[in-house]
Chains A and B, each alone.
Chain A
Amino acid sequence: MAPEPPLLSMSGITKSFPGVRALDGVDLDVQAGEVHCLLGQNGAGKSTLIKVLAGAHQPDDGVIRWRGEPVTLRSPIAAMRLGIATIYQELDLVEHLSVAENVHLGHEPTTAGFVVRGRAAKEATGRLLRRLGHPEVDPGRLVGELSAAQQQIVSMARALSHDVRLIVMDEPSAALDPDEVDNLFRIVGGLTADGVAVVYISHRLEEIRRIGDRVTVLKDGRAVAGGLPAKSTPTREVVALMTGRTVEYVFPERPAPPPGDGGTPVLQVRGLARDGEFEPLDLEVRAGEIVGLAGLVGSGRSEILETVYGARRPTAGQVLVDGRPLRPGSVRAAVRAGLGLAPEERKAQALLMLESVTRNVSVSSLSRFARAGWIDRGAERAAARAATRELSLRPDNPAVPVRTLSGGNQQKAVLARWLLRGCRVLLLDEPTRGVDVGARAELYAVVRRLADEGLAVLLVSSEVPEVLGLADRVLVLREGRVVHTAPAPALDEHRVLDLVMEGSQAS
């Protein structure tokens, strides 16, 4: 062991949320002056880990040492005082304040308690921006007027305005074009030369090879490999570490002749595109068929689903149900034609959290229980009960408030809504997000059964095994483009991960 203790050493970090063990005894060592990459699929626990490091989450168990001393990061301010800065993927800047004001937010230079506007802060900001290689950004401009890349620079300048020893960057390259990525790497190089440690999170293996010193791979809340050499570990090995299943899901069996054969397509998507989100896309889903879209965050999965559903207006192309085109950008047209969406953010986009399960289930079919606007509540309750029973929703009492349900049962309530509506095409966006591992198999069985009963299902998931296990056919997406299409049994997880990470080079 080196006589000098590592700058940061986290050991046995455990963090649970209701129903999910997000971190399960994670170890992470970071040396001063190194770029330590954190790798893992969505849901592996990366975000939770950096939130613990930023003081935003408190671990249930485990020890954090800073320069060998055990510390407690009670709040983001406590972490900042130690010299830990975090640059989140969603930049946390105030658009209506200037660059200098954002950089000094929370620690404004003051004189006798009054915030000093102007020179001192602007000059300090200017120095930081020059150090970051962006002298062209004017400290007096409003942050809202800057490009995404410039905003990221501001975020970094803010981190550096503190005496920072460790910077956590959460997918900093996601919103940048190649030139900007080069500049980002120059900045990272400059920081490490000054002895600052960088924890770098990315999905892109090639970036990690370029700037990383060591790699820690997270999977299902555990560090499956710690401190691998970033440049010399073979890609195969890294991918295998990321995907090696520790939890086996039970997927329902596929029907014997693949359901895609022969039948007429219920859902047809022709040349559908949205500028800056995804490129023209063609796909068909037949009755009884489950088609999966596999891809990482930012590959355009959710955007595609929401555009098909009419929640976003396409810039080109059309959606047809039973051969009839839908009015573009109209959710109501889509629902009337028989589409149903189980969105990614269940609580924000699907559920009425103050209401009962019954009312959440019936909300899309109200006119069915109404005569002249008058709701027959008995018929409504009976129908909601039948729909939730069919999906074995627990507790078996649709009068309870939907917020008391577990994630899996809340998802069933959303599915019951579309079952009751009699929908023909089900769009599932991350159907098992926030659902217990144990409850997932049941949800998979429900989806397959609905397909067997004649629904066309379009499934989006960042969990590759889920897409491969559940879907009949799979489209692999990378940065808004379909890079591969194949029957699910013809693909395996490594192949898909190669495709989504390396893209066209690998195919």
Chain B
Amino acid sequence: MTQHASPPRDSADTVAPAGRTPAWRGLRARADVRTLSLLGVLAALVVIGGVTKPDEFLDTRNLQLVLTQASVIGVVTVGMTFVITSGGIDLSVGAIVALASVWATTVATQEYGFGGILFTAVLVGLGCGLVNGLLVAYGGMVPFIATLAMLASARGLALQITDGRTQIVTVDGVLSLGERDSYLLGIPPLVLVFALVTVLGWLVLNRTTFGRRTVAVGGNAEAARLAGIDVRRQRLYLYLLSGLCCGIAAFLLVVLSGSGQNTNGNLYELDAIAAAIIGGTLLSGGRGTITGSVLGVLIFTTITDIFALNNLQSDVQQIAKGAIIVAAVLVQRRTASTT
């Protein structure tokens, strides 16, 4: 009957609060190893950047730029992490960002000012997420196909709205958010939004019933169903959440670029999935980490920045990204098989 290696710790219960047991710490330690290795990679990248281009890379403006660029894809990645944790996938995030950004910057929308732009971006994101969720949860479609269809349709609609033209934002309130004057203690407001979304995402995934159900559905959907969880409703909510994140990201992108374009968010789906996977979220579902995803985003954005500063072409960047994804997943499989 003694099938577990750790010795009984009956006495510890009365002293320490329940749960602060060796195994629990072991689990936390394991999570920390992964987080630490990601932090290590990020630190190594900062060193590389600092050594190769000391003046430019470590410049405050450059670091602010890196973080700002990470913010848009980062918000998308937080939503994507939830979807992947539940065993799903959302290929339509980039297209939703594009559609939301152009819909929010039409001449008609801009008449309603700041609120109109923000509201429209979020609403379009939620609407697309709702369609995705209904198709997957109640239409019985495979997430890959449902969101692939959304990718195509949303891109098409975005092109139809803009007719291929860049829609310049003229609302001052929106534009000023991206300017240096509005930085708080040197931190761009976009980065603050990203930080807020990250913290909320972490709390929801780790501390709420919603997060638990997400993990349960991803870990074993049949067991979740037989345990009394409404698996379909949960899936609907998850795609809604991803859509919401896309809407917020679209607004950030509008602020950042001062415009709306139908080519926005190109290949965001790949970047977001890659960041989540190298962060430690299982593509098969059942385990997700917001911390890891955010570190994954920061690693990718930093690489892009370093390559750009060193005048390396984007083809080299793409190759490096691909290599990193492969390496991260190989490491992940190694650790998964040993635990």
Contact = CB atoms under 8 A, between A and B. Distances in A.
Given A351-B220, A377-B19, A396 B8 contact: yes
Contacts of A348: 220, 222-223
B319 interface: no
Interface string B204-222: 0001111011011001101
Interface of A: 309, 311, 331-332, 335-336, 341, 343, 348-356, 358-359, 363-364, 366-367, 370, 373-375, 377-378, 381-382, 385, 394-397, 399-401, 404-406, 409, 417, 421, 438-439
B24 A399 contact: yes
A351 to B, nearest CB: 6
B225 interface: yes
A350 B4 contact: no
Looking at A356, A366, A385, the one whose CB has the most chain B CB atoms below 10 A away is A366
B212 A363 contact: yes
A183 to B, nearest CB: 37
A381 B19 contact: yes
Given A350-B223, A438-B1, 9 more contacts: A311-B226, A335-B228, A341-B226, A353-B219, A356-B27, A375-B208, A377-B207, A399-B23, A399-B24
A397 B223 contact: no
22 contacts: A331-B225, A331-B226, A343-B226, A348-B220, A350-B226, A352-B223, A353-B220, A355-B215, A355-B219, A356-B27, A366-B213, A374-B208, A378-B17, A378-B18, A381-B18, A394-B3, A395-B4, A396-B10, A400-B4, A404-B4, A406-B1, A438-B1
A456 to B, nearest CB: 18
B33 to A, nearest CB: 16
A375 B223 contact: no
| Among all A-B residue pairs, the 5 with the closest Cβ atoms | A335-B228, A399-B24, A352-B219, A395-B4, A366-B209
A409 to B, nearest CB: 7
Contact of B224 (A363, A395, A417): A363
B232 to A, nearest CB: 11
Contacts of B228: 331-332, 335-336, 364, 421
A309 B226 contact: yes
Contacts of B1: 394, 406, 438-439
B215 A373 contact: no
B286 A382 contact: no
B223 A374 contact: no
A335 B18 CA distance: 28
A221 to B, nearest CB: 21
Interface in B30-46: none
A341 B224 CA distance: 12
Interface string B1-18: 111101011100100011
Contacts of B111: none
A363 B216 contact: yes
B219 A354 contact: yes
A48 B10 CA distance: 40
Nearest to B284: A354
B227 A397 contact: no
Contacts of B215: 352, 355
Nearest to B12: A397
Given A348-B222, A363-B216, A396-B10, A354 B287 contact: yes
Contact of A375 (B19, B207, B216): B207
Nearest to B1: A394
Interface string B67-90: 000000000000000000000000
A343 to B, nearest CB: 6
Given A395-B6, A397-B9, A405-B3, A352 B226 contact: no
B89 to A, nearest CB: 19
B201 to A, nearest CB: 14
A359 B2 contact: no
Contacts of B229: 363-364
A401 B229 CA distance: 21
A409 B212 contact: no
Given A363-B216, A400-B23, A350 B6 contact: no
A349 B210 CA distance: 21
A358 B20 CA distance: 13
Interface of B: 1-4, 6, 8-10, 13, 17-19, 21, 23-24, 27, 207-210, 212-213, 215-216, 219-220, 222-230, 286-287
Given A343-B226, A377-B19, A370 B286 contact: no
Contacts of A396: 8-10
Given A374-B207, A375-B212, A395-B8, A350 B18 contact: no
A370 B209 contact: yes
A367 B209 contact: yes
A196 B207 CA distance: 63
A437 to B, nearest CB: 13
Nearest to A399: B24
Given A331-B228, A375-B208, A404-B3, A385 B18 contact: yes
A66 to B, nearest CB: 36
Given A354-B219, A374-B208, A404-B3, A349 B226 contact: yes
Nearest to A404: B4
A438 B216 CA distance: 31
B209 A373 contact: yes
Contacts of B213: 366
Contacts of B226: 309, 311, 331, 341, 343, 349-350
Nearest to B18: A381
Contacts of A438: 1
Nearest to B229: A363
Nearest to B24: A399
B84 to A, nearest CB: 14
A417 B227 contact: yes
A114 B125 CA distance: 50
A354 B21 CA distance: 18
Contacts of B287: 354
A377 B228 CA distance: 20
A335 B23 CA distance: 31
Contacts of A352: 215-216, 219-220, 223-224, 286
A311 B224 CA distance: 12
Contacts of B3: 394-395, 404-406, 409
Contacts of A374: 207-208
B2 A394 contact: yes
Given A353-B220, A394-B1, A373 B6 contact: no
Given A363-B224, A364-B228, A382-B18, A400 B209 contact: no
Nearest to B208: A373
A355 B286 CA distance: 9
A354 B286 CA distance: 7
B213 to A, nearest CB: 7
A385 to B, nearest CB: 6
A378 to B, nearest CB: 7
A399 B207 CA distance: 16
A405 B18 contact: no
Contacts of A331: 225-226, 228
A401 B23 CA distance: 9
A349 B216 CA distance: 12
Contact of A399 (B8, B19, B222, B227): B19
A341 B227 CA distance: 8
A350 to B, nearest CB: 5
B258 to A, nearest CB: 37
Nearest to B219: A352
A385 B18 CA distance: 8
